[in-house]
Amino acid sequence: MSLPTLALANADVEKNIANSKNWAMQAGDMFNQRYSKLNQIHKGNVGKMQVAWTFSTGVLRGHEGSPLVIDGTMYLHSPFPNKVFAIDLETQKILWKHEPKQDPAVIPQMCCDTVNRGLAYAEGKVFLQQADSNLVALDAKSGKVLWTVKNGDPKLGAVNTNAPHVFKDKVITGISGGEWGVRGFLAAYDINTGKQVWKGYSVGPDSEMLMDPVKSTTWADGKVTPVGANSSLKTWKDDQWKIGGGTTWGWYSYDKATNAVYYGTGNPSTWNPSQRPGDNKWSMSIWSRDVDTGKVNWVYQMTPFDEWDFDGINEMILADIPVKGKPTKALVHFDRNGFGYTLDRVTGALLVAEKYDPKVNWATHVDMKTGRPQVVSKYSTAQNGPDVNTKGICPAALGSKDQQPASFDPNTGLFYVPTNHVCMDYEPFKVEYTAGQPYVGATLSMYPTPGSHGGMGNYITWDAGTGKIVQSKAEKFSVWSGSLNTAGGLSCYGTLEGYLKCVDAKDINKELFKFKTPSGIIGNVFTYEHKGKQYMGVFSGIGGWAGIGMAAGLEKDTDGLGAVGGYKELNQYTELGGSLTIFALPN
């Protein structure tokens, strides 16, 4: 693809993220790096951090994402019913509160807890993607609803958990519901009116995917090559693509130099692979789309013909780093399937694909010429067939990493990755599609990786230029919190037991700070400065897929799509609760 000469991001968003006192986007910037230039809290004094203030959201389900901070005001969200609060940082007074009226019938339509991954902000507007698929713009000063647009039909399972993202003059959002047979898409809306600008599906005919058979490319035969006509339709049996999944509930990134939005698509529907022969393109893929038109620049499929629910929605981190010794405009992605991918974000060329958990066993490696993982027959649920329980697959369906975002530290050149260290047994079975009903077709059991350290998580550092783990720090449970790195030499993350931990970015096994918050942490660590003082914060509130047993009161081991049994010890360490804890150094 050629680079546009006059690409501009949204000027207001750029101004807000350039001021490191703010935390103006969910990842702190458009590259998804989750890095702050603030350094008042550093390696030498982080051990003295204390709780500065706390805030209860009044909601008990899983709290993912993080608040935003813009010019002295904090905007924070909750899981369903998706409350939004504006808080004055000086007094912690609630300036306004928005509580949307949503039909509670949406709750059982959400596969893995009623989470919400946060808000977006631009030009005096706060954007909320509600669970019931209404995308809403609120006046940032008053909380008044400016416009609302319907993004999907929750009666069909098309719900929303993702954070909206503002790139240029558009608010971009996706859709959840791969477990309901929802056909995924990415859509862009005008930030001032809510009018839909474009919508590109993940699967189906070229015209509906905004795919150009000649100009849209993919990685094949060791080179970037045109996708060709109807590249998706050719890989599905009959009309299965119409209920084929490929949903888009992750984090998106944007590079104004390429004018492209980067994101991933989720699992094909159903989880029983025998019912959908073929590669099922373009589920499980990394995408580059032009932000103005939605047209596909390039696409790369990580897990063709998925047999394990290795959703590909995890975030794309953009960084300019050396790859195999060569300066590269890279895109780095830690996929659920256990491989860490580095691609050239301009061309879509595959550069690195290596395991970021040594225990990954379902594939031996990725063939760098074809880009395809080399599947181990023993762990192939399709080859073993329906009604056969394939045991000992690593990772489990929730992946070596799920939605919890990693961070990039430009000082060390490394990526800091919260990971799951979990394996599974997987038994597919035939399931009939019924609109608005779960369309899963597999029974799962999850457990800690056998023959390892006994825990279910690791916090690792990763060299994306070579595809190697640099350091690994064992954790008892999956690290389901998004990490943060700072110019103070810190890397911080939360644990499912409820600890906020900060470690030395150069030696992550050196734990410098540890504090137990009121509930398990699945939120993302963030930082900001107010009146010359740096603060650090994180949501606690157990839930999400890993904590669905506690959040939804499930007890059977195979409930929660197999997670309940794996994480049943959690209730010995934490309890439900939704709150924000803000830390600072003492005066």
- Residues 283/309, Cβ–Cβ less than 8 Å: no
Query: Token pair of 178, please?
Result: 């791969």
- Residues 85/76, Cβ–Cβ less than 8 Å: yes
71 is catalytic: no
Among the listed residues 7, 294, 318, the one whose alpha carbon sits nearest the alpha carbon of residue 172: 294
Report the DSSP pairing between strands 484-486 and 490-494.
Answer: antiparallel
Beta bridge partners of 401: none
CA 506, 507, 508, 513 torsion-angle sign: negative
Give the chain's length.
587
- Residues 252/294, Cβ–Cβ less than 8 Å: no
| CA–CA separation, 545 and 163 (whole Å) | 17
Classify residue 274 as exposed, middle or buried by CB count within 10 Å of its CB (0-12, 13-18, 19+).
Answer: middle
From 169, 290, 309, 402, the catalytic residue: 309
For 18, other C-beta atoms within 10 Å of its C-beta total 11
| Side chain identity at residue 10, one-letter code | N
**Which value, in Å, is the radius of gyration of the alpha carbons in the chain?**
22
Three-state SS for 166? strand
Among the listed residues 54, 57, 60, 77, the one whose alpha carbon sits nearest the alpha carbon of residue 542: 60
CA 57, 60, 61, 63 torsion-angle sign: positive
| CA–CA separation, 574 and 582 (whole Å) | 19
Q: Which residues are catalytic?
A: 309
